[in-house]
Amino acid sequence: MRDRLELRAQDPVARCLIRQLIVPRIYFEANWPGTAHGPVDVLAIDRDGVGDVHLVEIKKRAADALASIPKLIEAQAPFRWIAFLRGTEDEATADALASQEILYPPDTAGRIGVIEIVEMAGNDLGATVRIKAERFPTPVYDLAAKFVDSHQAHIQYGG
């Protein structure tokens, strides 16, 4: 069963990506065909569904988010992210995030980005980029076009 914070964080994480993208389409708990490990928490497809794909795995704790990195390394998408609640790092995860080595795939370009979920006044949640994602050499425009044609976005600005 998913943690309530992880579910609630989908919208603030999506809004964090929206601030960085141009007319994105956002999908929650999406079965992206470019991953073999089940749905991703947030899928953003830029430029009204014909641009770059961003995948986000949301976890309450930093250690759990780092544990989801192998799933993201295997995924097909130009941009990949983990998100977790700020302040949940233990010493090992803090060291791993400081070195950033775990965020890089062993044999190709790209870096997994890090989004921090922030608890704010009034029990609201926000999200901010801690480490910017770098492009993986994975063009998936055809996959994105097929996905957009067959799925209704949860958040959409264009079309």
* Cβ 81 vs Cβ 56: under 8 Å: yes
- At residue 117, the pLDDT reads 98
Q: How far is Cα 77 from Cα 54, in angstroms, rounded to an integer?
A: 6
Strands of the 113-119 sheet, one edge to the other? 125-131, 113-119, 79-85, 53-58, 40-45, 25-30, 155-156
Q: Per-residue pLDDT tens for 85-116?
A: 999 999 999 999 999 999 999 999 999 999 99
Q: How far is Cα 139 from Cα 62, in angstroms, rounded to an integer?
A: 29
**Nearest-5° angle of CA 44, CA 21, CA 152?**
35
- Cα–Cα distances (Å) from 53 to 21, 27, 75, 80, 105, in that order, read 10, 11, 11, 8, 18
Q: Per-residue pLDDT tens for 19-30?
A: 999 999 999 999
CATH of the domain at 148: 3.40.1350
pLDDT above 70: residue 71: yes
- At residue 158, the pLDDT reads 64
Average pLDDT, integer, range 55-76:
97
Domain holding 88, by residue range, is 4-156
- 12: left (phi > 0), else alpha (psi -120 to 50), else beta? alpha
Q: How many domains does the chain have?
A: 1
User: If pLDDT is split at 50, 70 and 90, which confidence band does 2 have?
Assistant: confident
- At residue 101, the pLDDT reads 97
Q: Where are the alpha helices (DSSP H) in 26-133?
A: 46-49, 62-67, 69-74, 91-99
The H or E element containing residue 57 is: strand 53-58
pTM: 0.95
Average pLDDT, integer, range 148-159:
88
- At residue 159, the pLDDT reads 58
Q: Per-residue pLDDT tens for 3-62?
A: 899 999 999 999 999 999 999 999 999 999 999 889 999 999 999 999 999 999 999 999
- At residue 37, the pLDDT reads 86
- At residue 75, the pLDDT reads 96
User: If pLDDT is split at 50, 70 and 90, which confidence band does 1 have?
Assistant: low
